[in-house]
Structure formats: C-alpha cells, structure tokens
Amino acid sequence: MSIDRVPPAQSVPESLREREQWVCWRTEHRDGEPTKVPIEPVAGGFASTSEPDSWRAFGVARGYAAAEDTTVDGVGFVFTEADPFVGVDLDDCRDPETGSLDESAASIVDRLESYTEVSPSGTGVHVLLRGELPEGRNRRGKIELYDQGRYFTVTGARIDGAPRSVAAREDALATVHAEHVAREDDGRDEEPAQDGADMDSTGNGNSAPTPGTGTRSGPADLTDDELLERAMAAANGDKFRRLWNGDTSGYDSHSEADLALCCLLAFWTGTDTARIDRLFRRSGLMRPKWDEVHYGDDRTYGEGTIEEAVAFVSETYDPEDDSVDAGDVGSDTLPSRGDDNASTASSRSGSGESAPVSPPPTDTAGTPSTEDATANGHPDPAEDVTVSPGASGDSDGSTTGSDGGGSDDGPAMKEVREDAVVVYGDLAEAIEDLRASIAELYEENEHLRERITALENDADDDHAEPEPDR
C-alpha cells in the first residue's frame, strides 16, 4: 500500500473533514530524534492543540501541505473536548511490506470496527471512533488513546476491510481500554507521549518524584485546559506559549528549554509531578528522549527533569491568594542543563538526590527576568526558583543554604556567571562548526581521491605500450 504524503480529500471521513480542527505537521530532528511538530497552515508557525486560532479547515490545511513550496510533511486532526472523537494509536504493529498487523493490533482493530488508517511510518495504525474515553490511564506499551489536547497525523491510507466512516463504538472502546490499558501492572504510571499521537512512560526510580504525590491545593480544582489558559494569559504568557509550542530559541539546548517549561508547569500545577508530566507530553517540546533512562538509578530523562523543576520552584500558583508578588521569590536564574546527555553528578545538599552536571546558567529568551511578572497578583513561575540546590527562598528574596549560612550572589558573581555562559556557548558553537567543517573536508577529500585515482587509471591506459606481435 502506498501512503500519500497529502491524503486525497475523499479518503478522509467527512465527519472529520467538516470540522475546522486541522493543522499541518513536519518532521524535525531534535537531538537526533525525529519529532512530528504541529504547524499552522498558511502562516507556517508552530501550531498548538490548545490554541484553536492555529487550526484551519481541512481544505486549507491540505492545500498548504500540497503546495510545491511547502515546508510541511502532511496534515493532522486535533482532538478537542467539544468533539465526540477518540483516537486509538497502535505503534509498531504493522509489517510495511505485507501490510499485516500483529495479533494484538488485529484484535483491537476488529473489535473497534471503525475507520482505521496506516500511520505515516507505515508501521502503525490509527483508529478513529466516536465515544467517551474511560477515566484512568490512557497508555500502555504500544497502545495510546486520546480524546483531547492531542492531534493525529492523517494519511487517508485506510487499511483493507476497515469501515470508511467514523463509527460510534463506545462499548467496544470501554472493552479495549479495560483489557489493554487499564489492567494493573508493575506499578509504572504510564502517560501518553507526544507526536500528535504518532510519536511516542514514566516509571518510578529510586529517588524520582512519585506521580500524584505533589501538592494539589488550588490548581487541582482547574482542568488542564483552564490551567493552560491562565498560564498563557499571565504576564509571562508569551514565554510560556513559546515553550509550549516547542520553540527552543534563546536556550543553549533543548534540555534547558525542557527544564524551563517544567519549572513553569511546576508553579502552575502546585508541583504535582504527575500533572507536570501529563501536560509536558502535550507540549511541542515532547520527544522520545523524555522516556529514555538517563540516570544510574533507572530514572528517565523526564523524571529527572521534573525532579529538578520541583526542587527549584519555591512558590506555586494559588487561585485564592493574590498577595504573592514576584519580588518575594528567589533568584532570577534557572539551573543550567548545557549538555543534553549529561549524566548524574554530585548529590544535592541534604537530599541525596542527583542532578546533571552543566555549565553556569542563563538563557536569553525564556530565562526568568527580574521584572514584575504578576498577572492578577500571581508571580512568574520561572522567576520563582532558587539558584543553589538544597537552598530555600527567604521572604526577603535571599537564599539560605542547607547549612543555615547565608549566600549572596552579588553583581560581580552574576557577571562572572553570565560571562562563563557566553564563553561556554561560543565554544560549543565553535566546536560544532569545526566538526561540520571537518566532515565536509573529509567528504571533499574522498571525492578528490576518487577523481585522482580515476585520472591516473585513464592515463595509464592511454600510455600503456602495446604488446609486440608474436
């Protein structure tokens, strides 16, 4: 089966085509990993599953994707709370050569009996149906289920024998959820991944924050979408929106942008680790690395990032308290994560928790500023972080280490830190440029050697003495 980059209009169910919930997408490589990024049709900027203004009608999205000068790879459909649709994503279940599904996927597809198409990779399938997603977890292994806040890449490559329309299959959905997703397991709390549901849980490491154990006083009364609306409407809402949409500009690495967004989410969620994880997976920063084990104690990269964010945020959002001011919080500097592949290093004072080694912090775009960032009396969460691991923020804005002694980062020390970061960034950029230049020279040298060899061979043939007649 051939998979068209842009789906023929009639191959997509009308019930989906008639809704203005379409985006485009393109594959970007972040730290070597392919990530499907939602793109706003025509405008070409980042789209978001939480911003309807970045969605378009099917015809507009398809037309933009089909244009000769397009920069996108296809179209996608956004699931919302207002629509009746549920998407079931089955990964790595299809043989792209034969088109056959593995036994588990075939059973699920047969039971759901609704519109089913092949994913862009050719190795997975998407089932779209009408129904209500049961409460509880929505991911286990290779199956993920979504009903809002995510998008599906749409190919129109319907699998043989599948219905052409999106059917109402709530009972079948409940059965599939109960049998394949909701059953008890080894205690790992797996949450959905990000790829607009084409991309691909977190588990509990020895010292990782246990999902659901964070404080959930005020923010718990708000839905995720309501919380996101408030975050984007805050004084630092533009910063939040950029990170949420996957924009890492202004940060030395993708990992620093990850940490910045997690600090913001830690503030808005009341340091609820499970909710931070769930929301981050909806963001444009989500990538496969999030679920990779990166620490010696078996914690994943995502767990370590959330742990750092929770440790560095000393104030959290309270809908009932308008007295908190940005001037009451700690340092304006986030912990740095200059190396995306950093391993664990020295333990935090008094906690035994480990943090990645990296050069001194600062970033130029998303790093918290010292400006008053209150919105309706609430502080900028990214400004509400302490510099020193293990330190706690005092009411006067200073920091006190775990040994009880005061520490003061004066203007001189701040200037030294900033200079160090500039130097580190320049060196890193220079090294990458040097590596690229060496690779190009090596490739050119290989071509030159081949050309010289070919010329020498031709010359030898031209000057070869003929053998005498015998």
Is the domain of 18 the same as that of 161? yes
In a domain, 320, yes or no: yes
Specify the pLDDT at position 330: 29
For 15-91, strand residue ranges (E) read 22-30, 33-39, 74-78, 85-90
Does residue 150 share a domain with residue 41?
A: yes
Please report which confidence band the pLDDT of residue 448 belongs to, taking 50, 70 and 90 as the band edges: confident
Most confident of 113-122, 354-363, 450-459: 113-122
174 and 161 housed in the same domain: yes
Answer yes or no: is pLDDT of 189 > 50: no
Is the pLDDT confidence value at 332 over 50? no
> What's the rounded mean pLDDT across residues 240-258?
91
User: d(Cα 156, Cα 3) in Å, to the nearest integer?
Assistant: 8
Same domain, 246 and 158: no
The pLDDT value recorded for residue 428 is 64
Same domain, 173 and 265: no
pLDDT confidence bin for 99, thresholds 50/70/90: very high
Q: For the residues 312-339, what does the mean pLDDT come to?
A: 57
Provide the domain count of the chain: 3
Task: Determine the pLDDT at residue 45.
Answer: 92
Residues 379 and 417 in one domain: no
Residue 142 is classified by DSSP as T
Q: Are residues 146 and 22 in the same domain?
A: yes
Q: Is this prediction's pTM over 0.75?
A: no
Distance between first and last Cα of the chain = 64
pLDDT of residue 333: 54
> Model confidence over 266-276: pLDDT tens digits?
999 888 888 99
In a domain, 213, yes or no: no
User: Which amino acid belongs to residue 397?
Assistant: G
Q: Is a pLDDT exceeding 50 seen at residue 177?
A: yes
Residue 337, pLDDT score: 62
How many other β-carbons are positioned within 10 Å of the β-carbon of residue 24?
27
Is 468 a member of any domain?
no
Domain shared by 140 and 230, yes or no:
no
In terms of domains, do 15 and 160 share one?
yes
Residue 461 lies inside a defined structural domain of this protein: no
Please report where in the chains the tokens 């956004």 appear, as a residue. Answer: 78
Question: What is the model's pLDDT at position 334?
Answer: 63
Torsion sign over Cα 113, 10, 155, 57 = negative
pLDDT at 89: 96
Residue 165 and residue 118 share a domain = yes
Distance separating alpha carbons of residues 113 and 127, to the nearest angstrom: 9
Mean predicted confidence (pLDDT) in 365-381: 39
Residues 107 and 230 occupy one common structural domain: no
Q: What is the pLDDT of residue 416?
A: 60
Q: Which of 29, 30, 47 has its CA nearest to residue 38? A: 47
| Helix, strand or coil, per DSSP, at residue 116 | strand
| Predicted confidence (pLDDT) at residue 30 exceeds the cutoff of 80 | no
Name the pLDDT band for 113 (thresholds 50, 70, 90): very high
Collect all residues with Cβ–Cβ distance below 8 Å to 327 and sequence separation of at least 6. 372, 397
Q: Give the model's pLDDT for residue 4.
A: 85
Q: How far is CA 180 from CA 97, 129, 173, in A?
A: 26, 17, 10
Phi-psi region of 298 (alpha: psi -120 to 50; beta: other; left: phi over 0): left
Give CA–CA dist 58/143, Å, rounded: 27
- Residue 57 domain flag: yes
Q: What is the 3-state secondary structure (H, E, C) of 385-414?
A: ECCCCCCEECCCCCEECCCCCEECCCHHHH
Tell me which residue range forms the domain holding 365: 219-409
Residue 204 pLDDT greater than 60, yes or no? no
- What is the per-residue pLDDT for 222? 81
Percent of the chain with pLDDT over 70: 65
Domain-located, residue 193? no
Q: Does residue 209 lie within any of the structural domains?
A: no
Mean pLDDT of 75-104: 95
Mean of the per-residue pLDDT values of the chain: 74
**1, part of any domain:** no
pLDDT tens sequence across 45-61: 999 998 999 999 999 99
Do 170 and 300 have their domain in common?
A: no
CB burial string 330-355: b at 16+ within 10 A, e below: bbbbbbbbbebebebeeebeeeebbb
